[in-house]
């Protein structure tokens, strides 16, 4: 990719970001003054950089016992050392996690059980952003993006349920891009018949919301599941490698929500603030009476209705859940 193309791409990103910020961005209203996560075991995936790192940092600052689930253990160790040094926390650990591999997800949960015995908050943050123009699969036969962004979090979340504490929470980072998803085909989640790189990332972000609502129906009373729109953030994950170094230099002046803001809603939810929300304020009138707001979508510490309408379809959600479990099982038992 030449310099001219790079500059053109950056210009387009700046324009899109500027328009979005102009019409959507507000000063964050999240207040974390009273959030105390003392002795809570908080697992954050993709925590070595970006929003995941900032979530882990804020959790450690509030006295949580933080586990960083990182694909690259070395980057995870660097993140752990930095968080420990800046927060003074001695309770930050790293466990290797590759969400694209269902077998490795299973090993990750087994390690959590062995080392901690329980989880109070799981924050599904890790995601693959760069979409390949050609369909690529993992060693387990799964399309890479659907494996990392959807199937991995589904498997991690369901495997963790037996050790999720009485008032445990599963928080999944989605995106406003869910509104631009294509039609979800539950019989072709693995893109074996049709591969649509133009909408695939948005579809996985919609699937994150659908997963949150499916989880809500199988949680025990007192447990909660939420999805979060962190706001427009110019993530390096979604850019070609050739642009990453340029964006890294320019990021402070580009129109996007900084990670220090994008992480706030997740920490706010982890602190249990949804008890303040009344059932009548939720988007879905069938929300759990035990957990006001559980299964709902959040932005800037407020309930958000910016959700693609397919997420409201219970029958579609059930079919997606069933097929997701089938794909996970096929990966687990693949040679």
Residue 157's closest CA among 145, 169, 141, 146? 169
Domain ranges of the chain: 37-332
Here the tokens at position 2 are 């030449």
Long-range contacts of 11-14 (CB under 8 A, 24+ apart): 13/234, 13/247, 13/254, 14/254, 14/255
Residue 284's closest CA among 298, 315, 257, 305? 305
* Architecture label for domain 37-332: 3-Layer(aba) Sandwich (3.40)
Residue 201's closest CA among 259, 148, 241? 148
Here the tokens at position 257 are 């929500």
Here the tokens at position 163 are 């050790």
Give the 3-state secondary structure of residue 199: coil
Q: Are 9 and 32 in contact (CB under 8 A)?
A: no
Q: Are 240 and 1 in contact (CB under 8 A)?
A: yes
What is the reported pTM?
Answer: 0.85
pLDDT string in tens for the chain (335-residue length): 455 655 565 555 555 555 555 555 555 678 888 999 999 999 999 999 999 999 999 999 999 999 999 999 999 999 999 999 999 999 999 999 999 999 999 999 999 999 999 999 999 999 998 888 999 999 999 999 999 999 999 999 999 999 999 999 999 999 999 999 999 999 999 999 999 999 999 999 999 999 999 999 899 999 999 999 998 655 544 444 444 444 444 444 444 467 778 899 999 999 986 655 433 344 444 444 445 578 999 999 999 999 999 999 999 999 999 999 999 999 999 86
DSSP 148: I
Q: Which residues are catalytic?
A: 201
Helix axes 200-216, 152-160, angle to 10 degrees: 20
């Amino acid at each position: 990719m030449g310099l001219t193309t790079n500059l053109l791409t950056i210009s387009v990103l700046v324009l899109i970001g500027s328009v979005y910020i102009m019409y959507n961005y507000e000063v964050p209203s999240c207040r974390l003054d009273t959030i105390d996560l003392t002795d809570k075991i908080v697992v954050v995936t993709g925590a070595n950089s970006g929003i995941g790192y900032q979530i882990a940092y804020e959790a450690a600052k509030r006295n949580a016992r933080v586990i960083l689930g990182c694909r690259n253990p070395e980057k995870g160790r660097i993140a752990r050392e930095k968080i420990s040094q800046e927060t003074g926390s001695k309770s930050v650990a790293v466990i290797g996690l590759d969400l694209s591999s269902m077998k490795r997800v299973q090993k990750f949960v087994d390690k959590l059980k062995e080392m901690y015995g329980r989880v109070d908050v799981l924050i599904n943050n890790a995601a693959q952003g760069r979409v390949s123009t050609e369909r690529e699969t993992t060693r387990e036969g799964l399309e890479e993006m659907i494996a990392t962004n959807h199937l991995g979090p589904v498997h991690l979340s369901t495997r963790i349920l037996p050790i999720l504490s009485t008032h445990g929470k599963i928080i999944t980072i989605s995106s406003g891009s869910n509104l631009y998803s294509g039609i979800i085909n539950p019989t072709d989640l693995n893109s074996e018949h049709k591969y649509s790189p133009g909408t695939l990332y948005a579809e996985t972000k919609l699937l994150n919301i659908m997963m949150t609502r499916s989880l809500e129906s199988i949680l025990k009373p007192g447990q909660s599941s939420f999805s979060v729109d962190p706001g427009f953030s110019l993530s390096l994950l979604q850019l070609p490698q050739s642009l990453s170094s340029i964006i890294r230099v320019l990021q402070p002046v580009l129109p996007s929500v900084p990670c220090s803001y994008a992480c706030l809603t997740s920490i706010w939810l982890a602190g249990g603030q949804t008890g303040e929300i009344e059932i009548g304020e939720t988007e879905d009138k069938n929300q759990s009476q035990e957990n006001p707001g559980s299964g709902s979508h959040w932005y800037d510490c407020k309930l958000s209705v910016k959700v693609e309408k397919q997420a409201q379809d219970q029958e579609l959600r059930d079919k997606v859940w069933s097929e997701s479990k089938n794909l996970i099982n096929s990966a687990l038992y693949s040679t």
